[in-house]
């Protein structure tokens, strides 16, 4: 029997008979690995464990601890869900059911809304499918057979998906018991692997995300290998519900979304305090680093968006209007306006790098079902910056952005990881430009000694990017900052500088954000702190609580003195018991409460209660103010 070499991810290799399966290789390595294996990667292609190896190959056995293994496990879970739904609701039509972060979903076209009782019944049927432990068997059909089968079954959405594939494409389907689904795979070996699962919710979802199409019902679920991991995740979800920024935003009176403007947030006075502090911090740190601030118009002529490429690549997300008989667009991004500003005069190479920052209000059309408090809105403020530079300055400028981003995140105590995204299918520009841009980002990351994850094909349409994913205090991640290196926009807008040779040259450009969106960053902070903002950021830093009405004058005097020192202070002068006032201040998550009564009036002191420590004793107002000033200045 002819031998082949199988190279493993630790760099070693073993020889096997041609025709050996991936599962057999896993078994030869160890019983534990074979038991944990879900799928494999063979020469970069994801395959099932029964895949046959017929040539020298690079092989990685993937388990639930690998992202691709986890995705395959949860994609299989979605098939278990679909099989259970078809058993209980035979007339349901199947749409799609991918794995997503932390779980999976499946979209169904049914003639009535799924109820909580339905989800319970579906979960029980899913358990039967798991207990029956069906193997997932892959078959490849030709186009006519696949269309004929799914059309006969009334699966109109599957037929549409097949018709959109190339004429000569082989169609893969997966069988598990009586259930057959159109799917590219790969999958876990059997339904019995899905030991711990839970259905979480139902939501509406337009077919293919197009609001002109029919609204389907999307069932969300999650699954894990171990019940303990599922239990921990469900506890995390409960904690996340308590931290929901929409709930806390209402309780603390920070912001609202009105019926008259879905997706268009209103910031209340206390929310504006947080917003202004963030913007002031942003401005201060940018001035330190040589940025100049600008403001560009919200509405600009339609021709500009053709030139920038947004018309071809982003039109469906934009809003349009007509002015003086001409077409105009509301900006979804700030960069085209920034190009016009740079182009207004001729620049020398000595002027570069030029760092230009903008807190720019942008509008993007989001489907109503995708809107989510401040996390997903239709108008938001991007903390944009555009850096125009010489090719020789790329590495240093990217490093400068990385260091600024790291500093800002450290203020809030965020850990983060970095991802590098490369050329997408709909990209503008040549492969050579994209390779240069990607190399520039990679070189900067490696110069900083930063680990990063590679996301092939997930760059912006005009350039590759580095994304920063923040980790909050309960372990969730949020994509905020981004650095995009762009050779395309300077070309499209004919941006030039005069080099030392007296000739005109094309600058290179960085697009970057740190907060990403002021609105979304406030939402993330709200959930990260569960509304208990640190004293330097809290809308109300101190609340003065008189014990009885006769102490109101002293309390008001304390409030005035602290306000003059620049602190944000309220006095609760209501005719209520002090215990009630303390509880209310705790509910409002006020960092410090100053209780004042006869003793405090006589000694010209305050009794300090800290949100984190409770009663910390009496203090002179000067001592308290000095302590609070130190906390605020150091952003503790």
| Active-site position among 364, 376, 476, 559 | 364
| Active-site position among 83, 217, 382, 488 | 382
Q: Is 118 a catalytic residue?
A: no
Is residue 632 within 8 Å of residue 535, measured between CB atoms?
Answer: yes
Cα 169 from chain centre: 34
Residue 579 phi, psi (nearest 5): -60, -40
Q: Is 364 a catalytic residue?
A: yes
Dist. CA 124–CA 86, nearest whole Å: 13
Helix (H, G, I), strand (E, B) or coil at 26: helix
Residue 190 phi, psi (nearest 5): -155, 165
What's the longest Cα–Cα distance across the chain?
Answer: 99
Q: Is 465 a catalytic residue?
A: yes
Is residue 193 within 8 Å of residue 38, measured between CB atoms?
Answer: yes
| Active-site position among 93, 386, 568, 581 | 386
Per 3-state DSSP, what percentage of the chain is helix, strand, and coil (rounded to 5)?
40, 30, 30
| Active-site position among 107, 118, 383, 384 | 384
CA distances for 40 relative to 9, 25, 77, 244, 446, angstroms: 11, 11, 18, 38, 29
Upstream peptide bond of 614 is cis (omega within 30 degrees of 0): no
Is residue 187 within 8 Å of residue 156, measured between CB atoms?
Answer: no
On the 0-12 / 13-18 / 19+ scale of CB atoms within 10 A, 61 is buried
Question: In sequence order, what are the residues at sequence separation of 6 or more whose Cβ sits closer than 8 angstroms to the Cβ of residue 232?
Answer: none
Tokens of 217: 């019902």
Tokens of 596: 């004042």
Is residue 533 within 8 Å of residue 274, measured between CB atoms?
Answer: yes
Alpha helix (H) residue ranges in 164-251: 227-242, 245-251
Q: Is 79 a catalytic residue?
A: no
The size of the chain, in residues, is 636
Is residue 203 within 8 Å of residue 220, measured between CB atoms?
Answer: yes
Dist. CA 502–CA 168, nearest whole Å: 55
Q: Is 511 a catalytic residue?
A: yes
Output the CA torsion 256→261→264→269 (10° steps).
-40
| Active-site position among 355, 376, 465, 476 | 465
Is residue 5 within 8 Å of residue 17, measured between CB atoms?
Answer: no
- Ramachandran region of residue 157, left (φ > 0), alpha (ψ -120 to 50) or beta? alpha
Dist. CA 480–CA 518, nearest whole Å: 10
Is residue 238 within 8 Å of residue 131, measured between CB atoms?
Answer: no
Dist. CA 208–CA 118, nearest whole Å: 25
Nearest to 296 by CA among 287, 304, 307: 304
Enumerate the active-site residues: 335, 364, 382, 384, 386, 465, 511
């Amino acid at each position: 029997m002819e031998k082949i070499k199988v190279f493993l991810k630790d760099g070693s290799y073993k020889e096997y008979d041609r025709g050996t399966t991936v599962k057999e290789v896993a078994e030869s390595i160890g019983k534990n690995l074979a038991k944990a294996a879900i799928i494999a990667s063979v020469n970069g292609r994801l395959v099932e464990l029964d895949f046959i190896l017929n040539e020298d190959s690079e092989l990685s056995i993937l388990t639930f601890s690998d992202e691709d293994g986890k995705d395959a496990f949860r994609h299989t879970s979605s098939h278990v869900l679909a099989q259970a739904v078809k058993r209980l609701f035979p007339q349901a039509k199947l749409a799609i059911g991918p794995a997503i972060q932390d779980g999976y979903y499946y979209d169904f076209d049914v003639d009535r809304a799924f109820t909580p009782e339905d989800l319970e019944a579906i979960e029980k049927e899913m358990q039967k499918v798991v207990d029956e432990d069906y193997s997932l068997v892959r078959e490849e059909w030709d186009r006519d057979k696949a269309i004929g089968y799914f059309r006969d079954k009334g699966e109109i959405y599957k037929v549409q998906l097949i018709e959109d594939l190339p004429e000569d494409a082989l169609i893969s389907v997966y069988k598990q018991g009586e259930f057959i689904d159109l799917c590219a795979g790969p999958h876990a070996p059997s339904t019995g692997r899905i030991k711990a699962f839970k259905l979480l919710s139902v939501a509406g979802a337009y077919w293919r995300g197009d609001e002109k199409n029919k609204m389907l019902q999307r069932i969300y679920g999650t699954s894990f290998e171990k019940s303990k991991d599922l239990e921990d995740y469900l506890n995390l979800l409960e904690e996340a519900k308590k931290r929901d920024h929409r709930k806390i935003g209402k309780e603390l009176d920070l912001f609202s979304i009105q019926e008259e403007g879905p997706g268009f947030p209103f910031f209340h006075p206390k929310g504006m305090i947080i917003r202004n502090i963030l913007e002031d911090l942003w401005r201060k740190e940018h001035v330190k680093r040589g940025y100049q601030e600008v403001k560009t118009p919200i509405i600009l002529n339609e021709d500009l968006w053709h030139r920038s490429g947004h018309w071809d690549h982003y039109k469906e997300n934009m809003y349009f209007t007509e002015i003086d008989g001409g077409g105009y667009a509301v900006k979804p991004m700030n960069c085209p306006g920034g190009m016009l500003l740079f182009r207004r005069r001729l620049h020398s190479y000595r002027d570069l790098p030029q760092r230009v920052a903008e807190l720019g209000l942008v509008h993007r059309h989001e489907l109503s079902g995708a809107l989510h408090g401040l996390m997903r809105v239709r108008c938001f403020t991007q903390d944009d910056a555009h850096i125009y530079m010489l090719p020789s300055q790329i590495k240093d400028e990217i490093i400068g952005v990385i260091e600024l981003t790291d500093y800002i995140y450290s203020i809030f105590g965020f850990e983060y990881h970095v991802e590098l995204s490369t050329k997408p299918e709909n990209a503008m520009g040549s492969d050579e430009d994209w390779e240069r841009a990607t190399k520039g980002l990679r070189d900067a990351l490696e110069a900083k000694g930063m680990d990063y994850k590679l996301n092939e094909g997930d760059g912006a349409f005009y350039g590759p990017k580095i994304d920063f994913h923040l980790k909050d205090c309960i372990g969730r991640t949020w994509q905020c900052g981004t650095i995009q290196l762009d050779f395309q926009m300077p070309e499209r807008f004919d941006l030039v500088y005069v080099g030392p040779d007296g000739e005109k040259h094309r600058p290179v450009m960085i697009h970057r954000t740190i907060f990403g969106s002021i609105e979304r960053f406030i939402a993330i902070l709200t959930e990260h702190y569960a509304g208990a903002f640190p004293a330097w950021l809290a809308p109300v830093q101190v609340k003065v609580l008189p014990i009885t009405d006769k102490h109101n004058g002293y309390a008001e005097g304390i409030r005035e003195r602290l306000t003059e020192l620049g602190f944000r202070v309220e006095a609760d002068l209501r005719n209520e018991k002090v215990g009630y006032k303390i509880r209310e201040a705790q509910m409002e998550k006020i960092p410090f409460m100053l209780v004042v009564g006869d003793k405090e009036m006589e000694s010209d002191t305050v009794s300090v209660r800290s949100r984190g420590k409770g009663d910390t004793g009496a203090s002179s107002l000067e001592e308290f103010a000095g302590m609070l000033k130190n906390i605020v200045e150091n952003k503790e």
